Amino acid sequence: MTVSDDRGQAGSPTVTELPDAVTIETEEGRLLAERLADDTRHARRLLEVRNLSTHFFTRDGVVHAVDDVSFDLDYGETLGLVGESGCGKTVTALSITRLIASPPGQIVNGEIVFDGIDILKLSNEEMRLLRGRKIGFIFQDPMTSLNPTLPIGFQIAESARLHLGLSRKASDDRAADLLGKVGIPRAKERMGDYPHQFSGGMRQRVMIAIALACDPMLLLADEPTTALDVTIQAQILELIRSLSEEFRTAVILITHDLGIAAGMCNRINVMYAGRIVETGKVDDIFEQPKMPYAWGLLDSLPRLDEVKGARLRTIEGLPPDLINPGAECRFSPRCKYVHDRCRVEEPDLSPREGEGHLARCFGTEPGGWIK
């Protein structure tokens, strides 16, 4: 393998050596190794998730955390996954990186095709080639996601050293470069500092630097700003947006904050009880949502033009138990517009007005009862 000169830069790295001498076993793994060696060839779509089901086998029963979820993601696109806690957003993201704790979790069905490679067919070893190299992950809580005993420079450089086969010096240079890019002042000097010497917002910047260390094609951001205060939130989101544009990285942004999703995303998947209940371009979702759950989410946002002291609106009830969900529409117990049909039959995702706009609701289908 040849060594290019621009390895110290945070630009597009071209050379790949297999980290820790991973042995390629499967057909799909060979394809992946070829792709990693030649950065110019790409599949039609960056990510195609088809009928993904991830279940957790617990003592109480099988939890259908993600149930028959399908969606696509284009190169450079930003997709929002929104929904309440426990609706399967994080499990979807973890499934894409195959980081589901097993046992009890398991991907029981479906296909996840990343840049033309069916990652569910990769061996565990081969999967490591993809993690950190082509898929970066930003976790929710920056306070606990950094190793307290390692200098942050080491933690950023580790990924580059593992995946790009960089020397100590080259990976350190690259890490310092990234640290500067994520807006840490005096980046070179702070490389040797430990996580406890950084504030929460700065640690999340460090996490972003780690996630982007190998210039991945996909960035999974799992509620990246939940643990941060509002002013820092805005900075971090702006950073993710500008860097994803600069690196031309696709982003899957997981959030329960629709405001964030509206500001950041091209498209949005609304998830409820392990299912996608509505999907579409961000404008369609916000201007003409076609699912009562999405209305509820939008309605529960605090508004600037609201009467002072007015109560925040909520969606009545709780999300359903995901052990043995029935055949009914999963939102029906909480839906204000529910009809008898919703209680015996679950609607499919069907087209609505707007490109790629799908919703899972009988009431808003053509000829439905909700106007």
Partner 1 sequence: MANRTGALEQPAAARARAASLWGDAWRRLIRNRLAVVGGVIVVFLFFLLFFGPLVAPYPYQEQHLVELVENGNRPIGPFQGQFLFGTDDLGRDVLSRLLDGAQISMTVALVVQAVVLLIGLPIGAAAAWYGGRVDSFLMRFTDVMYAFPDLLFIILLSVTFRDTPIGGALDGVLMVFIAIGIVSWVGMARLVRGQLLSLKETEFVEAARAIGVSDFRIITRHLLPNALGPMIVAVTLGIPGAILAEATLAYLGIGAQPPRASWGKMVADGQQYLRGDPHLVIFPAIIIALALLSFTFLGDGLRDALDPKLKGKQ
Site residues for partner 1 per CB under 8 A: 19-20, 97, 99, 128-133, 136-137, 139, 141, 144-151, 153-154, 158-159, 162-163, 172, 188-189, 191-194, 196-197, 207, 210-211, 213
- Comparing CA positions, the residue from 41, 79, 5 lying closest to residue 285 is 79
Cβ nearer to partner 1, comparing 19 with 280: 19
How is residue 292 written in tokens?
Answer: 């009562």
Helix (H, G, I), strand (E, B) or coil at 141: coil
- Whole-number minimum distance, CB 35 to partner 1, in Å? 15
Dump the DSSP string for 99-110: ---TTTEEEEEE
State in angstroms the smallest separation of the CB of 21 from partner 1.
Answer: 10
CB nearer partner 1, residue 155 or residue 364: 155
Strands across the sheet with 117-118, in order?
Answer: 61-73, 47-58, 105-114, 117-118
Min dist CB 257 to partner 1, Å, is: 21
Nearer to partner 1, 18 or 291 (CB): 18
Q: Which is nearer to partner 1, 250 or 315 (CB)?
A: 250
Cα(157)–Cα(147) distance, integer angstroms: 13
357: tokens are 């706009």
Residue 223, burial from CB neighbour count under 10 angstroms (0-12, 13-18, 19+): buried
**What is the distance of C-alpha 105 from the center of its chain?**
18
What burial letters (b/e) apply to 315-349, b meaning 16+ CB within 10 Å? beeebbebeebeebbbbbebbebbeeebeeebbeb
Listing from the earlier edge strand, what are the strands of the sheet with 350-351? 135-138, 218-222, 250-255, 78-82, 267-272, 275-281, 358-359, 350-351
Q: Which residue, 147 or 300, has its beta carbon nearer to partner 1? A: 147
Q: Which is nearer to partner 1, 156 or 273 (CB)?
A: 156
Whole-number minimum distance, CB 300 to partner 1, in Å?
A: 28
Pairing of β 61-73 and β 47-58: antiparallel
CB-wise, 172 or 284, nearer to partner 1? 172
Minimum Å gap between C-beta 152 and partner 1 is 10
Task: Enumerate the H helices of the chain as residue ranges.
Answer: 27-37, 89-96, 124-130, 152-164, 168-181, 187-190, 200-211, 230-247, 258-264, 282-287, 292-299
Query: Which is closer to partner 1, CB of 160 or CB of 239?
Result: 160
CA-nearest of 221, 197, 223, 196 to 210 is: 221
**Residue 132 CB, nearest distance to partner 1 (Å)?**
3
Minimum separation from the CB atom of position 309 to partner 1 (A): 39
CB of 307 to partner 1, least distance (A): 41
Query: Residue 185: is it exposed, middle or buried by C-beta count within 10 angstroms (0-12/13-18/19+)?
Result: exposed
Residue type, 144: T
Tell me whether residue 203 or residue 352 sits nearer to partner 1 (CB atom).
Answer: 203
Residue with smaller CB distance to partner 1, 26 or 70: 26
Q: Determine how β-strand 117-118 pairs with β-strand 105-114.
A: antiparallel
How near is the Cβ of 301 to partner 1 at its closest, in Å? 29
Min dist. Cβ of residue 232 to partner 1 (A): 19
